[in-house]
Amino acid sequence: MRLLAFTVPFGRIFWACAHPGKTIPDIRMTSSDPSRSRLPEPLLAALLALAACVFFSCLSATVKHLSGELHGFVTAFWRNLFGFLFMIPWLWQHGFGSLRTGRFGTYLLRSSISVVSMMCGFTGLAYLPIANATSLSFTAPLFATILAALILKERVRFRRWSATLMGFGGVLVILQPWAESGFGSIGTGETLIIASAFLTATVTIIVKTLSRSESSNAIVTYMVLLATPISLVPALFVWSWPSLAAWPYVVALGLFGTLGHLCWTRAFAMAEASAIVPYDYSRLIFTVLLGMFWFGEVPDSWFWVGSAIIVAAGFYIAQREARLRHQRGTRAAATAATAESAQAGAAPVLPRGAYSKDQDS
């Protein structure tokens, strides 16, 4: 009975991933208290987000394990190929009907940049401890803030600029340019991971522009369909076949990536982004544990200080953006209420939380 009570929540998690958009069935146990079998949706969303972070962390560890045998470009191809194979049932159910688009060029650009970002990240893992690579990858939201201001012309005010600068200060703490070798301590691995984070931020901006006219299913479908052939081209230049012992890990690349993607997407569908995004930072804990027990990597004190600064900055930016989105939605509702009241000849009543002027962003 205890084993059943332990496994039921995880069964509900994976059922939720496999059946997006459907009501999760009530799995009852033979217990005197039926309410014990119920899992609140916010809790399930949190568990899905944590499960996604576990899968993504295992993906990073698997990539690092294979780095001694396969080039990062080749690993990226296998991850995309097996990820595509594992996604076929989902695509068959959701994706193929949304392939009509007038923005194929944008999809191609997005997929190409995503593949380059993946190749940089996978190759960088061969040079760095897995925890350091994960921490540096958290600079993506910092780059996204800068790109949103430059490309999308979003208004970014003092608070978010301060958080962004603080986050990059955390990067410097991890890189320790004040050490004896100075900025010479910033090697190939650090450069590749930071480049991957920048490209990830670029993809985020492209997805924002696509989401204005394209469905989420179309965005996911085109990424899955295009990533495999795009990643094959550079992989051919450094090609080597996995050994027999490496094949289970190669297949696991696609499995971990697909399960992580499905859990993360489902979590966002069940809860607000502001409630889910902070869980992404749990990857730092999981990768530290994997690095210690799998690769014998023990982070130093500077790593923890720098990581704390980066996480705090990224967390603040995510929460601030969520608050601003809520305020914009409230103002839109206030405008609609004012117009409706004006037509009826009544005094306008602002919705709760409406603001009369812009807040500092």
pLDDT at 112: 96
The verdict on residue 55 lying in a domain is yes
Residues 6+ away with beta carbon under 8 Å from 118: 76, 79, 80, 196, 227, 231
Tally the residues of the chain.
361
Residue the block writes with tokens 């200080």: 305
Residue the block writes with tokens 């204005």: 212
The verdict on residue 283 lying in a domain is yes
The verdict on residue 23 lying in a domain is no
Instruction: Please give the Cα distance from 270 to 279 (Å, whole number).
Output: 14
For the whole prediction, is pTM greater than 0.85?
no
User: Could you tell me the pLDDT band of residue 175, with boundaries at 50, 70 and 90?
Assistant: confident
The verdict on residue 211 lying in a domain is yes
Task: Give the number of other CB atoms < 10 A from CB of residue 205.
Answer: 19
DSSP-H helix ranges across 67-177: 72-94, 104-124, 130-137, 140-150, 158-175
pLDDT digits (tens, 9 = 90+) for 235-283: 999 999 999 999 999 999 999 999 998 898 888 888 777 778 888 889 9
The verdict on residue 183 lying in a domain is yes
CA distances to 89, 110, 181, 253 from 92, rounded to whole Å, are: 5, 22, 54, 21
What's the token pair of residue 93? 């159910």
Q: How many CA atoms lie within 13 A of 34 on its CB side?
A: 3
The verdict on residue 52 lying in a domain is yes
Task: Tell me: pLDDT of 349 over 70.
Answer: no
Using an 8 Å Cβ cutoff, are 110 and 223 in contact? yes
Task: Tell me: pLDDT of 355 over 50.
Answer: no
The verdict on residue 60 lying in a domain is yes
Instruction: Please give the Cα distance from 299 to 244 (Å, whole number).
Output: 32
pLDDT digits (tens, 9 = 90+) for 149-158: 888 888 888 8
Give the chain's domain count.
Answer: 1
pLDDT digits (tens, 9 = 90+) for 117-128: 999 999 999 999
3-state secondary structure of 24: coil
Q: Which domain holds residue 171?
A: 41-330
* Burial class of 294 by CB neighbour count within 10 A (0 to 12, 13 to 18, 19+): middle
pLDDT at 217: 76
The verdict on residue 360 lying in a domain is no
pLDDT digits (tens, 9 = 90+) for 52-75: 999 999 999 999 999 999 999 999
